[in-house]
């Protein structure tokens, strides 16, 4: 990302907020800001403005007015003398509407996919093309999704208090998409979560930021040079980003000290225990099980219970892990993969091989499918 593009993305929510405060409809304001961003990318390299934010506000407002005047209903009002005056480019108000935009884009009336797309455009400053590439859908499809989302929230008042938990879920969805196209969504999610953490003092925001940093720090060790999956126990820990791990642990410790535990803090604590272990064999699985117990208490999520079964299998032996697994619905995603691993640990290689094949057939992506298929072949060869 160029310096200009990074600056534009950081200014986007503030500029959008200013237009909405001036009375612009959210959907029209967002379109105007996107046009101004494109104009900035064209003009700034040769003629950088003295006040980038002021430039964007002025150009965005002009774009908004141009679009408004082109509308037939607006022309009739203008003919009647109701002209909208263009404000002077200075001064730009110091009010930061970024937090309200996070809440607006994660409005409960939006589907998760629509909330993610709108957040990336309105708060993240990404173009429709970039978002479409990242999610591997046609640009026209993503454009329709964003347009519908903007129409949905256009009537929502801008000063309504928002739900932090919904915003965090949206950002976590962005993070889990990882990398695709020319946009690194994991890095973008971290940037947006940093922005949210700067705008709101909330331990779960800090917990999510810590979780993202701790997961992202292991990224280089997760795949082979040809894109194959490397499970956590087999990763080269020398490739992990120790500075990012230290930052994540520091943020987590400060959040936990506030004694307002939430699910992202608990997940981050588990990630920190993995990151803290010099080798896979030295992982503190007993403490990880305790944190999974906290997560179960907070969320009662079947996926959490599935991951807890793995941790129990490591802490108390594969039989204990299989007993924990037996209580869960076998239609859960990755249930067969966990069962295969625990059966292999317990010495039942035939059952493990069969389950690895089953897990491969249900794998959510090619890398995971290939890894599970190799595990089945390894056991069958034995």
**Range 159-174 average pLDDT:** 83
For residue 126, the tally of other CB atoms under 10 A from its CB is 24
Residue 358, token pair as written in the block: 């089953």
User: Could you tell me the pLDDT band of residue 125, with boundaries at 50, 70 and 90?
Assistant: confident
pTM: 0.84
Residue 108 pLDDT > 90, yes or no? no
**What pLDDT shows up at residue 300?**
86
pLDDT at position 21 is: 84
Between 16-30, 174-188, 349-363, the lowest mean confidence (pLDDT) is in: 174-188
**Sequence-ordered list of residues with C-beta below 8 angstroms from that of 128, at least 6 positions apart, any chain:** 34, 121, 139, 142, 143, 146
* Cβ atoms < 10 Å from Cβ of 32: 24
Q: What pLDDT score was predicted for residue 160?
A: 60
DSSP 3-state of 184? strand
* Helical packing angle, 349-361 and 366-381, nearest 10°: 160
The pLDDT value recorded for residue 72 is: 55
Per residue in 233-260, pLDDT (tens digit) is 999 999 999 999 999 999 999 999 999 9
CB atoms within 10 A of CB 234: 9
Spatial separation of the C-alpha atoms in residues 142 and 148, rounded to whole Å: 10
Name the 3-class secondary structure at 229. Answer: strand
* Mean of per-residue pLDDT scores for the chain: 89
Average pLDDT over residues 57-78: 78
Q: Mention every residue, 6+ apart, whose C-beta is less than 8 A from residue 281.
A: none
Query: For residue 183, what is the enclosing H or E element?
Result: strand 183-184
- The predicted pLDDT at position 293 comes to 98
- The residue with tokens 């069962």 is 339
Q: Is 179 helix (H, G, I), strand (E, B) or coil?
A: strand
> Is the backbone of residue 162 left (phi > 0), alpha (psi -120 to 50) or beta?
beta
């Amino acid at each position: 990302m160029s310096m200009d593009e990074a600056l534009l993305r950081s200014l986007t929510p503030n500029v959008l907020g200013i237009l909405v405060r001036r009375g612009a409809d959210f959907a029209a304001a967002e379109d105007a800001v996107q046009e101004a961003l494109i104009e900035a990318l064209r003009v700034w390299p040769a003629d950088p403005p003295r006040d980038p934010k002021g430039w964007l506000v002025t150009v965005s407002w002009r774009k908004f007015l141009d679009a408004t005047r082109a509308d037939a209903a607006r022309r009739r009002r203008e003919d009647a003398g109701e002209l909208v005056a263009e404000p002077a480019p200075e001064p730009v108000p110091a009010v930061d509407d970024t937090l309200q935009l996070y809440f607006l884009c994660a409005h409960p009336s939006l589907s998760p996919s629509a909330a993610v797309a709108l957040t990336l455009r309105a708060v993240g400053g990404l173009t429709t093309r970039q978002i479409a590439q990242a999610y591997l859908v046609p640009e026209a499809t993503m454009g329709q999704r964003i347009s519908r989302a903007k129409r949905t929230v256009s009537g929502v008042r801008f000063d309504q208090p928002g739900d932090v938990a919904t915003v965090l879920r949206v950002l976590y969805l962005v993070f889990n998409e990882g990398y695709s196209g020319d946009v690194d969504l994991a890095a973008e999610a971290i940037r947006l979560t940093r922005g949210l953490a700067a705008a709101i003092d909330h331990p779960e925001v800090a917990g999510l930021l810590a979780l993202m940093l701790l997961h992202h720090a292991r990224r280089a060790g997760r795949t082979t040079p040809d894109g194959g999956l490397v499970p956590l126990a087999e990763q080269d820990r020398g490739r992990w980003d120790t500075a990012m791990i230290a930052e994540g642990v520091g943020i987590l410790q400060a959040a936990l000290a506030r004694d307002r535990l939430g699910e992202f803090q608990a997940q981050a604590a588990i990630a920190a225990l993995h990151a803290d272990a010099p080798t896979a064999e030295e992982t503190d699985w007993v403490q990880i099980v305790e944190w999974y117990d906290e997560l179960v208490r907070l969320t009662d999520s079947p996926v959490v219970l599935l991951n807890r079964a793995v941790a129990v299998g490591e802490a108390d032996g594969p039989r204990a892990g299989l007993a924990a697994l037996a209580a869960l619905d076998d239609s859960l995603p990755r249930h067969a993969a966990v069962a295969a691993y625990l059966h292999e640990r317990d010495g039942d290689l035939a059952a493990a091989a069969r389950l690895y094949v089953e897990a491969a057939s249900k794998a959510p992506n090619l890398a995971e499918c290939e890894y599970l298929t190799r595990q089945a072949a390894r056991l069958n060869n034995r």
